[in-house]
């Protein structure tokens, strides 16, 4: 540990000042704008924003999609992480690689694939028509289902990775012990695995939830203007209506939700390192 304060500040300040000037200051001004109008400080922008039924729909839809994607990712994530953790070492490494890989591929490319799959002449519709389940192609694109599937595919790896590390940190003999003592698999999950991997679940859940809330690409490609989420609504308000007040309100809502989630994560991380 070195003690020269001037030297330490000279090393750290350029990065801090850069982040403060290029990033923090403009964002703070943008947020302040939403609390300010011609008559001074007020929350009129917020009451106005929330009184519009369309905005409320979009807000609730964003929360709903975030919640359902998180819950479904947790269910699939547990099954997948459990299967991966029990693989022999080489196979485990390869499986983890396969889970990490999609995270590195452009989300635009990954989301675009769903157009090929879910489109009017896409795979799903072709399969349905050839089996005779439907005569007309079913509309999947620009529905909430399409956005849900796209988000799930985008963020599932984060949940699986968080649960893998939680399951690996679990005492190895907890599950056999519970089984020997007569617990069925449901009880094992509910009373042993879940409490012991709770932190991993919260970490994965926060990443998936905030990721889904602040997603732009997926609702833009698969939802269009029919299934707006908060970020696509923000973009639309600015580009179509030059409505910077609504933009500032949405920005504040998004930032508050992201921060709350991150605070929760940080609290859990410190709780764990103390133990």
Rounded distance between C-alpha atoms, residue 197 and residue 209, angstroms: 18
Q: Give residues 42-81 in contact with other proteins (rule: CB under 8 A).
A: 76, 79-80
Q: Is 244 in the site for other proteins (CB under 8 A)?
A: yes
Q: Which stretch binds other proteins (CB under 8 A): 50-58, 162-170, 194-202, 257-265?
A: 257-265
Q: Which stretch binds other proteins (CB under 8 A): 44-52, 63-71, 189-197, 213-221?
A: 213-221
Q: Which stretch binds other proteins (CB under 8 A): 9-17, 39-47, 131-139, 166-174?
A: 9-17
Considering beta carbons, is residue 164 or 201 the nearer one to other proteins?
A: 164
Give the CB-side neighbour count of residue 265, counting CA atoms within 13 A. Answer: 16
Q: What minimum distance in Å lies between the beta carbon of 257 and other proteins? A: 9
Q: How many residues bind other proteins (CB under 8 A)?
A: 80
Among 162, 221, 227, 245, binds other proteins (CB under 8 A): 221
Give the pairing type, strands 36-37 and 40-41.
antiparallel
Q: Which residues contact 62 (CB under 8 A, 6 or more apart)?
A: 213, 229, 230
Q: Is 24 in the site for other proteins (CB under 8 A)?
A: yes
Among 34, 66, 157, 200, binds other proteins (CB under 8 A): 157
CB atoms within 10 A of CB 57: 12
Measured over the CA atoms of residue 213, residue 215, residue 218 and residue 220, the dihedral's sign is positive
What is the distance in angstroms between the CA of the first residue and the CA of the last residue of the chain?
Answer: 25
Rounded distance between C-alpha atoms, residue 107 and residue 150, angstroms: 10
Q: Is 247 in the site for other proteins (CB under 8 A)?
A: yes
């Amino acid at each position: 540990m070195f003690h020269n304060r001037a030297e330490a500040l000279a090393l750290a300040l350029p990065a801090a000042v850069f982040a403060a000037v290029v990033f923090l200051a403009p964002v703070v001004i943008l947020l302040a704008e939403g609390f300010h109008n011609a008559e001074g400080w007020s929350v009129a922008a917020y009451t106005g924003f929330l009184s519009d039924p369309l905005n409320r729909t979009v807000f609730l839809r964003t929360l709903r999609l975030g919640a359902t994607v998180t819950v479904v990712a947790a269910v699939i994530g547990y099954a997948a992480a459990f299967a991966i953790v029990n693989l022999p070492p080489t196979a485990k490494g390869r499986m983890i690689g396969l889970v990490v890989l999609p995270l590195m591929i452009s989300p635009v490319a990954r989301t675009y694939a769903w157009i090929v799959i879910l489109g009017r002449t896409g795979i799903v519709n072709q399969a349905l028509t050839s089996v005779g389940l439907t005569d007309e192609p079913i509309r999947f694109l620009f529905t909430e289902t399409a956005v849900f599937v796209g988000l799930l595919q985008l963020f599932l790896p984060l949940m699986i990775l968080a649960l893998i590390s939680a399951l690996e940190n679990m005492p190895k003999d907890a599950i056999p012990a519970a089984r020997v003592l007569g617990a069925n698999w449901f009880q094992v999950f509910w009373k042993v695995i879940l409490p012991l991997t709770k932190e991993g679940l919260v970490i994965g859940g926060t990443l998936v939830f905030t990721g889904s809330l602040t997603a732009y690409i997926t609702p833009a490609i698969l939802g269009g203007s029919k299934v707006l989420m908060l970020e696509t609504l923000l973009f639309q308000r600015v580009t179509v209506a030059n409505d910077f007040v609504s933009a500032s309100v949405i920005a504040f809502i998004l930032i508050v939700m992201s921060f709350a989630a991150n605070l929760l994560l940080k609290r859990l991380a410190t709780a764990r390192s103390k133990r």
